[in-house]
Amino acid sequence: MTDTAPARPARPRRLPLTWVGLAPFVIFALLFLILPTMNIVIGAFQTRDGSFTLQNLRDLGTGTIPSSYWISVKISLASSLLGCLIGFGMAAAVTFGAVPRFIRGPLMTFSGVASNFAGVPLAFAFLATFGPVGLITLFLKNNFGIVLQRDLGFSILSFWGLTVTYLFFQIPLMILIITPALEGLKKEWREAASVLGATSLQYWRMVALPILFPSLLGTFALLFANAFGAVATAIALTGSALNIVPIQLFAQIRGDVLGNPNLGYALAFGMIVVTGIANVLYIWLRIRAERWLK
């Protein structure tokens, strides 16, 4: 007769303590990202009394709303394109150029700070610099007799004014994202191209840029989403002077009798769709780019 070992009592499952550190992030994301987004999506398909409707989405094609989306798209495209070009040049200069190495650290640190510097502080900084009584505006007027808006056609409350303001955080974001991709270019590729008789221009045109193209296009999509979703900076800088989506959104949800909160939800829902598509494109292209850089 054989003895059977007594069955061990089942241990209760315990949540690993390592997950406890994620609790603040999960709570924060739930309260300030997931639940507000769900509320916006639901509100876009509701009337004031809470019943289901598609009229809010139909109203996106009425009045000045289509033109506001188009202006927002153009500003996002312009700031993204300029941000990519300038940021790529700066990152390439630091990574491959003759720029002293000690500049890299401060540049990356500044880029990390500036890429998150937006909203009212950024709007105030540019108004204090390029506004009607800004530092640069008064300097040019008092010393050279140049009036920015009259002689150069530039106003901080215009299309190009908002685009230049967005460049303050678009260029640093481009530097932060594209620098690791530039560092991932292997020296063997340049050496092989040189051995085969390729010039530096041919190397960049036929080897480096094709490899970097997914990263460049993905970063462009991310910068587009970043500019399109910038609400606080646009409202604080232009107020109602420029007809863009954030201004239209603010006009609908500010709470007066002329506003339509559900139409504001529909406007926000449209912004979520546009930025969501841009972010999905960025993630997909980023994955493709990492295959070459591993």
Contact predicate 166/75, CB 8 Å:
yes
CA distance 80 to 101: 27
CB 99 within 8 A of CB 106: no
Structure tokens at 154: 């530039």
Q: Which residues are registered as beta bridge partners of 46? A: 52
Instruction: Give Cα separations from 81 to 6, 171, 186, 241, 259 (angstroms).
Output: 71, 10, 26, 24, 35
Q: How far is CA 208 from CA 80, 188, 195, in A?
A: 21, 12, 16
- Phi, psi of 4, rounded to the nearest 5 degrees: -100, 135
Which of 249, 254, 252, 284 lies closest to 270 in space, CA to CA? 249
SS (H, E, C) 143-202: HHCCCHHHHHCCCCCCHHHHHHHHHHHHHHHHHHHHHHHHHCCCHHHHHHHHHCCCCHHH
d(CA 49, CA 19): 41
Q: Residue 282 in 3-state DSSP?
A: helix
Q: What is the pLDDT of residue 147?
A: 87
What's the pLDDT at 53? 93
Distance CA 65, CA 68 (A): 5
pLDDT score for 8 = 64
Q: What confidence score (pLDDT) does residue 239 get?
A: 74
Q: Is the CB of residue 224 less than 8 Å from the CB of residue 83?
A: no
pLDDT in tens, the chain (294 residues): 555 556 566 666 665 667 777 888 889 989 988 998 999 999 999 998 889 999 999 999 988 889 999 999 999 999 999 999 999 999 999 988 777 878 888 999 999 999 888 888 898 899 899 988 889 999 998 998 888 887 888 888 888 999 999 999 999 999 999 999 898 888 888 889 889 888 888 998 888 898 888 889 999 999 999 999 888 888 888 877 788 888 888 778 776 555 788 898 999 999 999 999 998 888 888 887 777 666
Please give the domain boundaries of the chain with CATH numbers for all domains: 64-293 (1.10.3720.10)
Q: Give the pLDDT of residue 249.
A: 83
Residue 167 token pair: 């460049």
Contact 236, 120 (CB under 8 A): yes
Structure-block tokens of residue 2:
């054989």
CA 114/CA 80 separation, integer angstroms = 16
Supply 119's token pair.
């909203």
Q: How far apart are CA 47 and CA 63, in angstroms?
A: 19
Q: Residue 16 has what pLDDT?
A: 67
Q: For the stretch 133-156, what's the b/e string if a residue is b when 16 or more beta carbons lie within 10 angstroms of its beta carbon?
A: ebeebeebeeeeeeebeeeeeebb
- pLDDT value of position 7: 59
90: how many CB neighbours lie within 10 A of its CB? 20
d(CA 122, CA 161): 13
- What is the enclosing helix (H) or strand (E) of 287? helix 261-293
Q: How far is CA 128 from CA 62, 125, 160, in A?
A: 36, 5, 17
Q: What pLDDT is recorded for position 184? A: 86
Please tell me the distance from the alpha carbon of residue 222 to that of residue 281, in angstroms, as a whole number.
Answer: 8
